[in-house]
Chains A and B, each alone.
Chain A
Amino acid sequence: MAEPGAFAPQLLGLAIVVPLAAGAVSFALGRARAMAAALLGAAAAVALAAAVAWSVATGGAVALDIGSWVPPLGIRLAADGLSALFLVLAAIVGAAVSVDAALASRPGADVADRWLFWPLWLFLWSAVNGLFLTADVFNAYVCLELIGFSAVALVASKGSKAALDAALSYLFASVLGAMTYLVGVGLVYLASGTLALDALDSAVHGSASARIGLGLMLAGLVLKTALFPAHFWLPTAHSSAPPQVSAALSGVVVKSSYLLAVRLLVAATGAGSGPGLRLTLAALGAVAIVWGSAMALASQRLKLMIAYSTVAQVGYLFVMLPLLEERAATVGLAIALHALSHGMAKAAMFLAAGDIADAAGTDRFDALAGVGRERPVAALSLGLAGVTMLGLPPSGSFAAKWLVVQSSLASGQWWIAAVVVGGGLLAALYVFRALASLLAKPDRSEARTPKPRTAWAALPLAAVSATLLLAGPAISRLMAATSLAGR
């Protein structure tokens, strides 16, 4: 009789294999039954994420050596509190995206090949879970590429010229990032003889080739995460994809490469990822907040505005990094809170924007006057998600900003506090501008015929994000099983 918790390591493997298998089955079943199979797989993926989170919360970090091959030769999967929380983020956003896509796919939908969404979406989910869980830098490269392939195909799925252009530019940016990362992996292996994330620090200490390798790996991840100035591919890719795809990309995919970047920084604290590197990343993050917000404000289209807002919100995730070494626990919690609440809110915004564009026939602001009255649920979801973008209580991003401001003032890095607070004000401008145009008096009344679809999936997503502070104790408990302090 196995003791309770003995099965926990297997959950990590299942969290990757189950969505992958469900995607393959859904593809094999074909058009008629792809959705049913994919929805079953999605439900299983959600249950597995919850199970992993539960097991980490009750029994601490979990690890699985695949096939019992131990590192340095084998590949290890590991989940601490942060991985578990990111799995949960993928599960919550994934559930909403799946429900929204199921509601959107009705007989006679205009896109013939849309059923292919289901297998691709589950492949993406599987790859993202893989990146959250892997403790091997080469395995992470494979996950990055798998994420790239499925995401690119999903972006292209509309088949329009604009969508194909966006997909191509996304693909090449993604390949450039992944290849840069791979060269970095090669150099680090050359110096250290290991691919295990947790063995990097001692192995690469003091070696020039390892430092360059680490820099290249981070550069690749920065490109994948769309940190300014490597964000150029994101606005078109995220704004020209179908709404469910945009939601998954902005909500979860950019966070996956971010998580790996944080792991690398932490793993190699003693070997070249010192204060200088973190400060550089933070400075880029600060510029990203200002630039992304300004471009969001200047956007003439709702989805483009939301995509630029992601550029800004990614900036927050990097701007807090210099504080990580000194206050690992607090800043780790802030990272988790911000990634979770932004991921959910941003996914909700894209789903709601899809509904609004569906009602208005376009997402250009000048044609959106009054659409909020026709689509109150979508407008409400956008408003609630706006609470997170602004960082108002009781959203998770409020708590994250609070922790970051406190830590930055305590450690004398006041400029971080200034950027974080200022960024909230900029977010207020673009969020209110979008809401104002949606709730404005309509130009013409009764001109549009309402279509039978509502953004029901967006509303709970936005609501959870806006009240994430209520889940604070659970999140803190999970983060207690996480160490982001360098060795």
Chain B
Amino acid sequence: MSAPLLYALVGAGLVSLGAWGLVVRTHPVRKTVAANLMGSGAFLILVSAARATPAERPDPVPHALVLTGIVVTMATTAVALALAKRRAAASEGHSGEGASDG
């Protein structure tokens, strides 16, 4: 088995695990972890695409894509955690219209 194929298969496994977690888990933090897992899997697949062609050097385009993707995933994580924090603060408050912690 070639290395790119191994990477791609591991990536596919991570994507499936992450997607499963995103659908099945209910806690926002668990879902956030699942989203990160899925993202890492997607990036592995992209990186393996860079090596799959029999050229001498790897193709730089997928690496650029992965860099962009990492930034996006970090932003996703930040937004998700901020919302989860707000949500937790809202359920600690006694009224349904709380969450004025900002």
A159 touches B99 (CB 8 A): yes
B99 touches A186 (CB 8 A): no
Give the CA-CA distance A149 to B73 in the complex, in Å. 11
A189 touches B42 (CB 8 A): no
Of residues 244 to 268 in A, which have CB atoms within 8 Å of B's CB atoms? Answer: none
In the complex with contacts A156-B86, A168-B28, A190-B52, A179-B61 CB distance below 8 A: no
Instruction: List chain A residues, Cβ under 8 A from B83.
Output: 152, 156, 164, 167-168, 171
Give the CA-CA distance A172 to B98 in the complex, in Å. 23
B79–chain A nearest beta-carbon distance, Å? 6
- Decide yes or no whether A175 CB sits under 8 A from chain B: yes
Instruction: List chain B residues, Cβ under 8 A from A141.
Output: 69
Contact with A along B3-19 (1 / 0, CB 8 A): 00000100000010011
Give the CA-CA distance A159 to B100 in the complex, in Å. 7
In the complex with contacts A175-B35, A179-B39, A189-B49, A161-B22 CB distance below 8 A: no
- Decide yes or no whether A40 CB sits under 8 A from chain B: no
A176 touches B19 (CB 8 A): yes
Of residues 174 to 213 in A, which have CB atoms within 8 Å of B's CB atoms? Answer: 175-176, 178-180, 182-183, 185-187, 189-190, 193, 195
Contact with A along B51-86 (1 / 0, CB 8 A): 011000001011001001100100110011001101
The tally of residues in B whose CB lies under 8 Å from a CB in A reads 42
- Decide yes or no whether A380 CB sits under 8 A from chain B: no
Instruction: List chain B residues, Cβ under 8 A from A171.
Output: 76, 79-80, 83
Give the CA-CA distance A160 to B39 in the complex, in Å. 29
- Decide yes or no whether A73 CB sits under 8 A from chain B: yes
Give the CA-CA distance A175 to B18 in the complex, in Å. 11
A174–chain B nearest beta-carbon distance, Å? 9
For chain A, give the interface size range: 35 or more
Q: Chain A residue with minimal CB distance to B15? A: A183
Instruction: List chain A residues, Cβ under 8 A from B79.
Output: 149, 152-153, 171
Secondary structure at chain B's binding surface: helix, strand, loop or mixed?
helix
B99 touches A161 (CB 8 A): yes
A309–chain B nearest beta-carbon distance, Å? 26
Instruction: List chain A residues, Cβ under 8 A from B91.
Output: 161
In the complex with contacts A156-B86, A193-B53, A182-B99 CB distance below 8 A: no
- Decide yes or no whether B23 CB sits under 8 A from chain A: yes
Give the CA-CA distance A176 to B31 in the complex, in Å. 10
B99 touches A183 (CB 8 A): no
B62 touches A186 (CB 8 A): yes
B72 touches A145 (CB 8 A): yes
Give the CA-CA distance A113 to B99 in the complex, in Å. 12
A187 touches B45 (CB 8 A): yes
- Decide yes or no whether A142 CB sits under 8 A from chain B: yes
A160 touches B31 (CB 8 A): no
Chain A CB within 10 A, most for which of B19, B42, B80, B97? B42
- Decide yes or no whether A112 CB sits under 8 A from chain B: yes
Instruction: List chain B residues, Cβ under 8 A from A72.
Output: 61
Instruction: List chain A residues, Cβ under 8 A from B86.
Output: 156, 159, 164
Give the CA-CA distance A161 to B49 in the complex, in Å. 43
Instruction: List chain A residues, Cβ under 8 A from B90.
Output: 159-161, 164
A183 touches B96 (CB 8 A): no
Instruction: List chain A residues, Cβ under 8 A from B62.
Output: 186, 189
Which of B39, B84, B96 makes the CB contact (< 8 A) with A162? B96
Which of A113, A145, A161 makes the CB contact (< 8 A) with B98? A161
In the complex with contacts A145-B72, A168-B87, A183-B41 CB distance below 8 A: yes
- Decide yes or no whether A138 CB sits under 8 A from chain B: yes
Q: Chain A residue with minimal CB distance to B86? A: A164
A159–chain B nearest beta-carbon distance, Å? 4
B47–chain A nearest beta-carbon distance, Å? 9
Given A159-B86, A183-B15, A187-B49, 12 extra CB contacts under 8 A:
A142-B68, A145-B72, A159-B90, A160-B98, A171-B80, A175-B76, A176-B35, A178-B72, A179-B18, A183-B42, A186-B46, A186-B49
Interface CB pairs A-B, < 8 A, 19: A112-B102, A138-B65, A141-B69, A149-B76, A152-B79, A159-B86, A159-B90, A160-B90, A162-B96, A172-B22, A172-B28, A172-B31, A172-B35, A176-B23, A176-B35, A186-B65, A189-B49, A190-B48, A193-B53
